[in-house]
A and B are shown apart, each in its own frame.
Chain A
Amino acid sequence: MTPVFRPLRELAEAVRTRQVSPVTLAETFLARLETLGPRYNAVVTVTRERALIAARRAEAEIAAGRWRGPLHGIPYGAKDLLATSGGVPTTWGAAPLREQRFDYDATVVRRLEEAGAVVVAKLAMVELAGGMGYRQPTASFTGPGVSPWGPDAWSGGSSSGSGSAVSAGLVPFAIGSETWGSILSPAANCGITGLRPTYGRVSRHGAMALCWTLDKLGPLALTADDCGLVLDAIAGPDPHDPTAADRPFAYDDADATGRRFRFGVIRDVAAGAEPAVRAAFERSLEVLRKIGTVEEVTLADLPYEAVTRTILFAEAASAFEDMIESGAIAGLTAPEDHYTAYARDAILAKDYVRALRVRALVVREADRVLSRLDALVAPGRPGVASPLDREFRSAARGNVADVMGAIGNGAGLPAIAVPNGFNEAGLPTSLQFMGRAWEENTVLAAARAWQSITDFHLKHPPVG
C-alpha cells in the first residue's frame, strides 16, 4: 500500500499488523518533506536523525508485541513553535531566532512520543505566529506558505506548514496552534481538517506564547477521526502548565450514523463571505439538514471582536516586549512587522482589564446559545486562499468580520474546520462546527457525520 493520503486508522492497522514498518513510513515521509516541502515553503527542519531513531524503536517494540496504539510508528510534523530537544532549532518562524534551541520537548511533543508517534519535521509558520500584525503572506523567513491547491495561493497562517504539509501528503498529521484563526485558516486554505480544542484542553508548555489566555494547540489532519485520535494522545492536565485543565478526555469514536444533531447559524454569519464561500455554505446547510436540524440564532449585542482583539494585542505586546522594546522586530521578514506592534503601547491597562471583564459576559452569552445546540456552523473562513502577492483580509486585524472566531477564541471554545467545496479556480472552501466548552467529542462527531455523507476530504491536490 502507498501510505500517502491514508487516514490514520488505515496506517495504524498496517503498522500494527506489520504490513508496513515504521521505518518505511518515516523514510517515505522524510523523502516527501525533503523533495516536495520546498515547493510549499512548508518545512523549517527535517528531523531525519531523530525520526529514524524513533521509527526503529517503534519497529522493534511492535515486533516484540508491544503496540502502543493508533499513533505508534506514525510520522507527524510539529509547528516550529513547539520546543524540541536534541539540538533541533525551534525558530518561531522568525529570522532573528533561526538558531534558537531548547533542551527539552514541549509537552505535546513528549506526549506524542509516548504514544509512539514519530516527529519527522518542524513545520513552517508565520513569524511569531502573526502576533506582530502581518498583512500579507511573506511573513516568515522560510518564505510565504503555499497551498498545494494553487501555486499562487497562500496556505493560510499562522500554522502554514502544518496545513500545507498535511494537504500535500508530506505528513499524515501535524500539530498547529491557534490564537485567532491559526488552525482553522490553514485547514480551510489547504482543504484539510483542523481541530481547535477548548482552551486548556492541551498543555501549552514548551509552546511559544503569543497570548497566554488565547493560545491553543491542536491537530491538522485529513479527517475528523484523525483529529480525534491525535487529540486523545495530546490532551490532559500538565503540572508545567497551570492552565491545562484537570478534565479527563477520551476520544469517543462511536458511530454517529443515525444521530440527529442540532445546529445553529448566527444570523448573517456568512454575509461578508466571498460568493463561492457563501454558496458552498448554503449547500452545506442543505446537507446538514439530512443529519440534524438547522436553526438561526441571535446573539446579545456585545463587542465580541473588540474584546478578543484587545486581549490579543495587549498580551502579544507583553509576550514579545523584549523584541519590541529592543527593536529586534526590525529583523523580521514582513516589513509591516518591523513597526506595527509599537502601536500596542496605546492600549491602556484599564481597557485591557475592561476587555477581560466584558469577556466574562461573552463566555456566558456563548454558553447560553450553545447549551441548546450541538454546534454553531459557519464558513471556516470568509474567503478562499488569497494570492501570495496581495494583502489578505484578516479578522485579527479587523478588516473582515469574524464573530465566530472572536467568540470561539475569546471564549476558548472548540471548533473543527472541514472542507466543503471549491471555488471556480479550484481553491477549497471550508465549513466549521463550533461547540460548547469541552465538547470536542460533539464537534468531532458532527464533523465525522459530515464526512460520512460528503467526499470533499477525499480529494487531494495534484502533488505528485
Chain B
Amino acid sequence: MTDKSPETAPDPYVSKIDRRTALTWIGVVGAATAAAAAGVVVYGPKSGGAEAKGYGTDPKLNPPVKAPWPRIMSHDQLQTAAILADHILPATATASSASALGVPDFVNEWVSAPYPDQLKDRPIILEGLNAIARDVMGKDAGKRAAALAALPGQAFFKRFRALTIGAYYTTEAGFKDVGYIGNVARAADPGPSDEVKAVLERELQKLGL
C-alpha cells in the first residue's frame, strides 16, 4: 500500500498479465470488454452460464501451461485486492510488495478457477473485496485504515491472507524472503552445516534429549 499522503488514493494496480493472454480469455468469455489504456487490462464479470473448463487431466507440465480459464474479477475487485495484498505484505527495504509480484492477478486466477476448493473461496473473496472496496479505494486514508483494521478475525481476511502468502512465497522473491535456498542442482548433498547442527544440539539439550 502506498500511503504517500492522507488525501491520496492508492496508486492503481497494473495487471502483470500480458494483453495477449488476457484477450484469449476474453475470446472465451465473449461478452467482456477490454479497457487497454496504458497497458491496464480490465476484465468484466463472467456473464453467467456454465463453469469454465479446467486444465484437464493431462495438462502440459514442461513448460507448464498457463491457467486457461477466463478471469472474473472486476476492476474494483482487482484494485481492492492489490491494496489488501500490499497491506498484508508491503514492500520492505529488501523485499517486493505483494502487488509487485502479481499477487492480485493470482487471486483473480484462483477465484476464477472451476475447481471445488476455489469455487468455495470465490464468494468469500469476492464478497469480502466488495465490502471494503469503497473505503480502501477512496482518498480518505482514515477510512482506508479503519476498513483494513477491522478485517482480522473475518473468514474473508483469513482466506485472503493465506492466498496472498501462498502466492507470494511460491515465487523466487518469496523464496529469498523466507529463506528457501534449494531447487539447485548439486553434485552431492553435504547435509546440514556445523552451525545448524550446533543449534540443534543446543535445542536438544534444552529438551533433555
A and B are partners in one complex rather than unrelated chains: no
